[in-house]
Chain A
Amino acid sequence: MTELLEILTSSQNILPEWILIIGILFLVVIISFQKDGSKWPYRFSFLLVLSYTFSASYYYENLPNEGIKLFGDLLILDKTSLFFKQLVALSTIVFLIHSRLFKYKFDGEIYFLVLCILLGLSFLAMTTNFLVIYVSIELVSISSYVLVATKNDKKNFEAAIKYLIFGATSSAIMLYGISLFYGIGHTLNFADSVFFKSIATNSALIIQIITFLFLAGLFFKIAAAPFQSWVPDVYEATSTPIISFLSFAPKAVGVLVVARVVQANFVNLNMVLLLIIFISLIVGNLAALWQTNLKRMLGYSGIAQAGFILIGVLKGPQTDFYGAFFYILTYLPITMGAFFLADLLKKQAGSDEMEDFKGIGQKNIFLGLNAVIIMMALVGLPPTVGFMAKLMVFSSIINMGEDMHSSAYYGLLIFGLLNAAISIYYYLKVPYFMLIKKSYNQPRYNPDFFLTVVLTYFSIALVVFFLYPDFGTEWVRKVLF
C-alpha cells in the first residue's frame, strides 16, 4: 500500500511532465487526423510548451531547499531542476517562434520529436538515478537522430548516420560505466549514502575511470571533446531552428547532470574535467579558425563554449556551480540569437558560406550592428552579457586556486582567456564580411525589416542583461543546490 501511496503523491508533483505526456499523445492524434501542412500541430505544441512552463513555475514556492524525492528516489524535484526545465522550455518556445517566423514548413512529426526531447530533458534534469539518466538520454538521443534525418538529402543522411553511430557508441560506453558502478556501488542512485560508502572502498583511479565512462554519454550531449566529432556535420546539415534548439537544450541539462555527479562528491573529477576542458577549448577554437561555413563555425564554437561552461563545474571547497548555471542562462539568448542571425543571413545571401555575406551589413546597417553585438557576446566582450558570464566562470577559478593551492587552475584561467582572445578571429569574420568586404555582384538583397527587428530583441537582451544582470543573478542564486 505504501508504494502505491508514494506513487500517487509523487505523481502529483510532476504535473508539467503529465501535461507533456498527455499532450504528446494528443499531438499524435492531431497529426494523424490533420492534412499535411496543417497549422494545428504547431499551435497545439506552442500551447503545450507554454502550459508546461507555467505549471513548472507553480512549484517554486513551496519547495524545500534540498528538494523532494519522488518515486522512491528515482526523481528529485528541486529548484535547480525547475530552473533547467524552464530554460529548456524557453528554448523550445524560441525554436517554435523561430521556425514560424522563417516559415519553415515542418511536418507535425517534427514538433512531436522536439516535445519528446523536452520530455526526456525534463526527466534528465530531475534525477540522480543511473537508470533514469540512461533512459532519458536515450529518449533525447533517439528523437534527435530522427530530427536530424528528416530532411531528404544526402548530406542530412550522412550527418544523421554519423550522429547515430557516435551517439550509440557513447551510450554503450555510458551503459558500461553504469553497469560497473552498479557492481561496485550496489545501488543505482549515485547521491545515495550506500553508494558513497561502497565506492569509498575502491581505489580513486578506478572510480575516476568508471565515472569518465559513465559521463561519456553526457559529454556527447554537451558536445565536449573528445566526443565532439559529430558536431560540424550535424550542425551544417540540420535545419537552423532545429539545430538552434539542439545546440542549447541538451547541452544545458547535460551540464546539470555533470554538476550533480560532481556535487555527489564520491570522486574527485577535477583532473578529468580539466582534461576535457583543455581539449574542448583547443579543438573547438583551432578548428573554428579554418571554417568558412557559418553553421559549421558555430558548431565548433559550441564545442569551445562547452569547455567554458564546464569550467564552472569544477569542484572546490566553495563550489556552488554558480558560474556554470549563469553561463547557461546567458548562453540561451547568445547561441539561439546567433542561429537566428545565421538563418537571416542565409535568407539574404542564399547560403551559409561567410564569403557570401559580403556587403550585406553595408546595405542594412542594423543587421550589421546586430551581427556585431551577437558575435561580441560569443567572444565575451563587454558590453554584452557574454562578458559577465565569462567573468563569473573565471572568478570561480580564482577562488578555487586560492583554496586548492594549485597552479593548474591559474594555468587554466590564462589558457581559457587566451582562447577567448583567439576566438575573436573567427567570430569577427561574420561582421568582417558583412561590413568591411565589398560585394562585387549585387547581393540578393531583400530588406527583411520584420526579422531584423526580432533579431534586435536578441541583441537588446544581450546588452540590457549586461547592464542589469541582477534579475539573472538573483534567479540563479535562488536555484543553487
Chain B
Amino acid sequence: MQSGLLSSLIILPLIASIVILLLPESYKGSYRWIALIVQILLLINTGTLIGGFEANHTGYQFLEHFEWIRLTLGKTSILSIDYIVGIDGLSLSMVALSVIVFFVANISSFSINKKEKAYYSLFLLLTASVIGCFIAVDFFLFFIFFEFMLLPMYFLIGIWGGPNKAYASLKFIIYTLVGSVMILVVMIALAMSSVDEFFTSEYKRTVFSFDFRILSDQANLLKGSLLNIVNPIKIFGVNARDFMFILLFIGFGIKLPMVPFHTWLPDAHVEAPTPISVVLAGILLKIGGYGLIRIAFGFFPDVAVNYGLSINIMGLTSILYGGFNALAQKDLKKLIAYSSISHMGFVLLGIGAFNIEGFNGAIFQMFSHGLLSSMLFLIAGVLYERTKNREIENFKGLAKIMPIFTVMVAIAFFGSLGLPSLSGFIGEFFTLFGSFQATTIPKVIPILGVLGIVLSAIYLLWTFQKMFFGEFWTKEDFKNNLEDLNQKEIIMLGILGVLTLLFGIFPNILFDLVNPTVIQFF
C-alpha cells in the first residue's frame, strides 16, 4: 500500500520552495501565503496520517519503498540505498510536532520583511528536510536530510539574524557538522556490517543495506565484520560497538544539546530571528533525542544497557548546569535558551533509564518541550518586536497593560516549570519516574534531577514576578509601543497554549500513540 501520503510531506514543501524561488519579485506578497498554504496542507496530511494510523500495530506503517541507488562497491559487494519512508508511534509524534511548530513559525515569519523570496524558500526547504529526517526508514536517507538541514539553517540565521549573526551561524554549522560526521562514521560502519540476505542471494554479491529494519535486527550482522557481536573487534582498545555507540551519543548529544557540547545553542538562539528560534528549539533539538532513541538505542541495545548511568549523569549535568545558567541570565531569550538545555536534560534522563516509563517520558518531554519552548521564544519575540529590547530588568508590571500577553506567558512559564495539568509536568514526571525505576541508576540522580524542576521554578517565577507584577515601569519610554497581543500573536500562542493544556490533561492521546512502539524496544 503505497499511498504517497508520507512522501507528500517532503515533496510539497520542496515543490513550494522551488516555486517561490522561480516566481518573479513582483509576486512578493504571495510568498508567505504559498508557504502558509503548504503548512496547512501538511497539517491536514498529518491529520489523515494520525487518523489512519493503527496504534496497536508494531513496525512501520504507511511504508513507501522505492529502489534508489545500487552503489557498486568494488567487485564483490553492493551498497543498497533505498528511498524508504514510514512511520511508527515515535516518528508520528515527532512529525505531528513538526507540522504544528512549522505552522506557527510560518505565521510568526510574517513579520520578516527582508528578502522574502530567499527566506520562504529556505524555510520550506528546512521544513522538508526536518520532516524527511523523522520519516526516513533508511539510514542514508535520514543522514541526507540530517545534513541538508544545516545549510538552510545556516543562511536563515546568517542572513536574517541579529548583530552577531556571522559568528553564531558559523558556530552552529561547525558544531553540528562535527556531530554529523560522527554519525556518518557509524552509518558507514553499520552499513558495512549489515547484510540484506534477500538481495544477497538475488544479486550473488554481498548486498549491504541501510534499511532501518535490517540494521536493527542483529541477525543480519555479517560474521567477522566490524560491528559483529560474537567476535568483538577493538578500536583503540574499546569494543567497536561501544566505540560506535559513544560516537552516536556525542553526535546526537551535540544536536540535543547536551552539556558540554551545548555552547552553540545560546549563541544561535540569541542571534536567530524569532521564527527560526522557534523552529530550532521546537523541532531541531528533538532530532537529537529522536536519533538517540531510534538509532543509538535501536541499533545498539546491547551496548546501550551498559551506558544508562553515564547517560543519566550527562542528563543530570545538563539539567543542573542549564538551570543554574538560566538563573544568571539578564537577557530573556538567553534565559529561555538555557532553560531549553535544562529541559532537554530530562530527555537524556528518561532515555538513560532504559525502561518503558523512561522512554515514554522522554518522548513526551520532547513533544511538550517542543510546544512550550516555541511559546517561550514567541513570547520573547513579542517583546523584542515591540521594543527591540529583551533585558529582563527593563520591564516591570507588564500585566497592567498587556493582560492577554500575561495569560499566555503564565501558561508557558507554568507549563515549563512543571505545573500539573500542563504538559511539562507529565514529561518531567515520567522521565524522573523512569530513572527511579531503573535498577542500574543510583537514586541520588533522579533526586538531584528534581532539583532541576525547583531551579526552573525559581528562574521562571522570578522572571515572571519581575517583569509582570508591580507598578508598570520600563527603562526607556516603551509605553506607546507596548500594545497587547494582536490577532496573529493570539492565534499562534493560543494554539500552542491550548495544546499544552490538552496534553497536560489528557496525556494518553500521546502515550497511546507512542507506547506500542516503545514496548518493542524491550
Contacts and interface: CB of A to CB of B under 8 A. Distances in A.
Interface string A387-413: 110011011101101100101001101
Nearest to A478: B72
Given A402-B233, A420-B181, A421-B174, A382 B147 contact: yes
A421 B180 CA distance: 9
A237 to B, nearest CB: 30
A435 to B, nearest CB: 7
A320 B185 contact: no
Interface string B150-182: 110011001100000110001001100110111
Contacts of A388: 71
A166 interface: no
Contacts of B165: 436
Most buried by B among A365, A413, A421, A476: A421
Contacts of B21: 365
A381 B237 CA distance: 31
A417 B181 contact: yes
Interface string A366-396: 0000001000100001110001100110111
Given A410-B236, A436-B159, A401 B166 contact: no
Contacts of B117: 365
A425 B21 CA distance: 26
Contact of B158 (A381, A436, A474): A436
A398 B144 contact: no
Nearest to A476: B72
Given A405-B233, A411-B236, A383 B184 contact: no
A395 B192 CA distance: 7
Contacts of A432: 158, 166
Contacts of A186: none
B188 A398 contact: yes
Contact of A417 (B68, B71, B170, B184): B184
A398 B236 contact: no
A318 B76 contact: yes
Nearest to B159: A436
A468 B66 CA distance: 13
Interface in A134-193: none
Contacts of A420: 181
B235 A407 contact: yes
Contacts of B71: 388, 392, 469-470, 473
Nearest to A399: B192
Interface in B70-102: 70-76, 79
Nearest to A319: B74
Contacts of A417: 181-182, 184-185
Given A318-B76, A402-B225, A424-B174, A470 B155 contact: no
B224 interface: yes
Contacts of B224: 402
A414 interface: yes
Contacts of A391: 188
Contact of B75 (A320, A396, A410): A320
A46 interface: no
A418 interface: yes
A480 interface: yes
Contacts of A320: 74-75
Given A320-B74, A420-B181, A383 B69 contact: no
B41 interface: no
B233 A428 contact: no
A382 B69 contact: no
A226 B73 CA distance: 31
B236 A407 contact: yes
B384 interface: no
A322 interface: yes
A392 B184 CA distance: 12
A413 B185 contact: yes
A477 interface: yes
B205 to A, nearest CB: 11
A476 B233 CA distance: 31
B212 interface: no
Interface in B495-518: none
Interface in A284-309: none
B107 interface: no
Interface in A45-85: none
Contact of A372 (B144, B151, B174): B151
Contacts of B233: 401-402, 405
A394 B143 CA distance: 15
Nearest to A437: B166
A85 B189 CA distance: 34
A394 B237 CA distance: 21
Contacts of B150: 381
Contact of B189 (A381, A398, A467): A398
A410 B235 contact: yes
A427 to B, nearest CB: 11
A402 B232 CA distance: 11
Given A322-B74, A388-B71, A405-B233, A381 B225 contact: no
Contacts of B70: 470
A325 B184 CA distance: 21
Given A395-B73, A425-B174, A436 B235 contact: no
A414 B185 contact: yes
B69 A469 contact: yes
B493 to A, nearest CB: 31
A100 B18 CA distance: 32
Contacts of B235: 401, 407, 410
Contact of B173 (A396, A398, A418, A424): A424
Nearest to B68: A467
Contact of A428 (B173, B178, B180, B188): B173
Contacts of B74: 318, 320, 322, 396, 477, 480
B72 A477 contact: yes
B303 interface: no
Nearest to A373: B151
Given A322-B73, A432-B166, A394 B188 contact: yes
Contacts of B234: 407
B226 A436 contact: no
B17 to A, nearest CB: 12
B202 to A, nearest CB: 17
Nearest to A409: B235
B148 interface: yes
Contacts of A436: 155, 158-159, 165-166
A421 B177 contact: yes
A395 B79 contact: yes
A387 B148 CA distance: 12
A398 B158 contact: no
Contacts of B155: 435-436
B54 to A, nearest CB: 33
Nearest to A369: B21
A420 B173 CA distance: 13
B192 A421 contact: no
A362 B236 CA distance: 48
Interface in A301-330: 318, 320, 322
Contact of A402 (B144, B178, B226): B226
Interface of A: 318, 320, 322, 362, 365, 372, 376, 381-383, 387-388, 391-392, 394-396, 398-399, 401-402, 405, 407, 410-411, 413-414, 417-418, 420-422, 424-425, 428, 432, 435-436, 467-470, 473-474, 476-477, 480
For the complex of A and B, the 4 pairs showing the least CB-CB separation, nearest first, are: A417-B181, A382-B144, A421-B177, A322-B74
Interface of B: 21, 68-76, 79, 115, 117-118, 143-144, 147-148, 150-151, 154-155, 158-159, 165-166, 170, 173-174, 177-178, 180-182, 184-185, 188-189, 191-192, 224-226, 233-237, 243
Given A421-B180, A473-B71, A476-B72, 14 more contacts: A318-B74, A322-B74, A322-B75, A365-B118, A372-B151, A392-B73, A394-B184, A395-B191, A396-B74, A398-B189, A398-B226, A410-B235, A421-B177, A421-B181
9 contacts: A322-B75, A395-B192, A399-B192, A405-B233, A410-B236, A428-B170, A436-B155, A436-B158, A470-B72
